[in-house]
Amino acid sequence: MAKYTNLPAEELVSLIKSDDKQAFAEFYDRYKGPLYFQAFRMLGDDEQAKDVVQEMFIRLWETRHSISVKTTVEAYVFRSIRHKVIDFIRHQKTITRYLDSLECYLEKGTAALDESYIEKETLALFRLALASLPARMREVFDLSRNQGLSHKQIAEELCISEHTVKKQINKAIKHLRLRINLSLLSLTLL
């Protein structure tokens, strides 16, 4: 791999486009650190930043044949990570809005008969997904979403770090989304 370390980024991209895995490994080693710091600066969360960087590199490899760098390679990858972070933030907001609307429904409980049935089924799926969470994660999620406590308050109450609280909530949301989506998919296939 030493022969790749001195290659300019543009040549690495050209080799990557021709399926050169060693060129990709060098490209990854060269840019993973700076991209992680950019993502971390935007998100403020270590795990989320790592996930976004990994997703960007996976996407880069999957679309390697159609890579089109119109500026510098550095500008291209930093723009790519910025877009990945923005997509991640949008996705998190969508999940939060969904969970908030579900909570609102639970509090108000008013809907037409057909809508009520669909919402009851969705609520049942949500409760099953929630019950499948590990106990500590479920407790953290409940304190955050149902009792409205801040990350700091939860951390103090459970004697854990705020970082752990944030991580647990993010994992819970990912788990819930996956379980509900899989359940809805299986219902549509029936």
Q: Which residues of the chain have pLDDT under 70?
A: 1-2, 98-119, 181-190
Domain count, the chain: 2
168-184 pLDDT, tens digit per residue, is 888 888 887 777 766 66
CA dihedral 99, 100, 101, 105 (to 10 degrees): 100
pLDDT of residue 137: 85
Domain extent at residue 141: 111-189
pLDDT of residue 66: 85
Residue at a domain's end among 33, 59, 91: 91
State how far the Cα of 122 lies from the Cα of 16, in Å rounded to an integer.
44
Is 150 inside a domain boundary?
Answer: yes
CATH number of the domain enclosing 30? 1.10.1740.10
State how far the Cα of 125 lies from the Cα of 61, in Å rounded to an integer.
35
State how far the Cα of 169 lies from the Cα of 103, in Å rounded to an integer.
16
State how far the Cα of 70 lies from the Cα of 5, in Å rounded to an integer.
23
pTM passes above 0.85: no
